[in-house]
Structure 1
Amino acid sequence: MAIKVKQEIKIFSTLLIFFYSPFLFAQKYSSYDYARLYSLKRCLDINYVALDSTFYKKIPDITSSLVLQSLSPEQMDIIDKKIFELAKDFYKTPPFGSYDNENANQICFFCWELYESKQMKKYLKKIINK
């Protein structure tokens, strides 16, 4: 009888660990990670809205609601200003190479490049650590 109870406990604990392990080991994002995500989103927002002012009225992007859980409105405002300063003309920047479409752009690439830049990473770390 004791052996059967021990086996049931082992089976139960194994199943418990199996079902709860995704929650135990789920990736946790830091405020810095959310600041980077927010900076990328704002870069894309600024440039796509510059091309079409109705862009987000048609299909809103609510990524900022995730970010609000980790960043203060003040931090977001500081990031907004910096991103606007650095990325406001990406939609005007001609793409690398030549394309048949004169309206072609590389907004996503330029925003990703800014997102990955050492300058932006340092700036965001400074904001988060204040």
Structure 2
Amino acid sequence: MKAFNLSLMFILLLINSCTYSQGTKSKKLDYMKKFALENCIYNNYNKIDSTFFSKYRDVSAVALSSYGELTELEQNKIREFTKSKTSSFYSNGNTFHFENGKTNIVICECLLFYDSKELLAFLKKI
């Protein structure tokens, strides 16, 4: 009976550690996606207004990389991929016109990128 209880405890511990590991991987993947989203928004708004960072002093990328425990290599890979896929969002045309001038849909485009299968597949490879 002791051997059975010990085996059962070991199996439960193993299942718990696998579940925890999957949860940790999923959580990290969520932060990687958020980091890519932040980079998309930052890069495109910085192209619209080069004083964007100095005005708003938003350090969300630092916070997301810290919370997600992203390595410098992971951050660089995500930045490069995001830049290659989203660098022209600021200049994409759209059908929305307003009396006060030119419009953009940067946030919309970046959210679509955030939810894309392409981004998810890339991040899973890192």
TM-score tier, shorter chain, comes to: 0.7 to 0.9
RMSD over aligned CA atoms reads: 1.7
- Which residue number in structure 2 is paired with residue 112 of structure 1? 111
TM-score by length of 2: 0.73
Note the residue ranges of structure 2 that are not aligned, 5 or more in a row: 1-23
Say whether 1:52 aligns with 2:46: no
The alpha-carbon distance between structure 1 residues 102 and 60, as it changes in their structure 2 partners (threshold 3 A), is: same
Identity level (%): 26
Which residue type is aligned with residue 95 of structure 1?
A: N
Given residue 105 of structure 2, which amino acid in structure 1 is its aligned partner?
Answer: Q
* Cα distance between partner residues in 2 of 1:51 and 1:98: 17
Summarize the alignment of residues 67-106 of structure 1 with structure 2, pairs less than 5 Å apart: 67-69=64-66, 70-106=69-105
User: What residue ranges of structure 1 are gaps of 5+ in the alignment?
Assistant: 1-27
Counterpart of 2:33?
36
Deviation at 1:98, TM superposition (A): 4.0
For normalisation by structure 1, the TM-score amounts to: 0.70
Higher helix fraction (1 or 2):
2
32-41 or 89-98: bigger deviation: 89-98
Superposed displacement of residue 96, structure 1: 3.2
